[in-house]
Amino acid sequence: MGHVYDDQNIFAKILRGEIPNATVLETEHALAFRDIHPQAPTHVLVIPKGPYVCFDHFAQEASDAEIVDYVRAVGEVCRMEGVAEDGWRLIANAGMNGVQEVPHLHVHVLAGRNLGRMLSKG
């Protein structure tokens, strides 16, 4: 299945500087910023700078350099936020059943409280 990137999505606007964000970390190929509606004391979104819709799109089409930088950025955010010891959760929603609202790859880094079981019903 082909992935068609919509460059009017809200994270594309953030990357272009058209919408402000609370940046946690910026690297060559990644940007991490605080979620506007945090669901835990730590709720950071980490996105690649490239135009990738979802994790699978990124995995298929990103360069090795982009992938390495992005994965290392996620780990660095956890260390910067001081959550590595107490634990944290990484979520990447994709598509309709994953209930992905913003069609630019992002992982949620959630931490700072017991996050409960992985999925709620329904």
Catalytic positions, written as ranges: 106
Interaction pattern, residues 77-106, with ligand 5GP; x per rule: CB under 6 A:
----------------x-----xxxx----
Nearer CB in complex with ligand 5GP: 18/64: 18
Residue 19 in contact with ligand 5GP, rule: CB under 6 A: yes
DSSP for 6-70 reads -TTSHHHHHHTTSS---EEEE-SSEEEEE-SS-SSSEEEEEEESS--SSHHHHHHHS-HHHHHHH
Residue 82, classed as helix, strand or coil, is: coil
Residue 56 in contact with ligand 5GP, rule: CB under 6 A: no
State the residues that interact with ligand 5GP by CB under 6 A: 10, 19, 21, 33-37, 93, 99-102
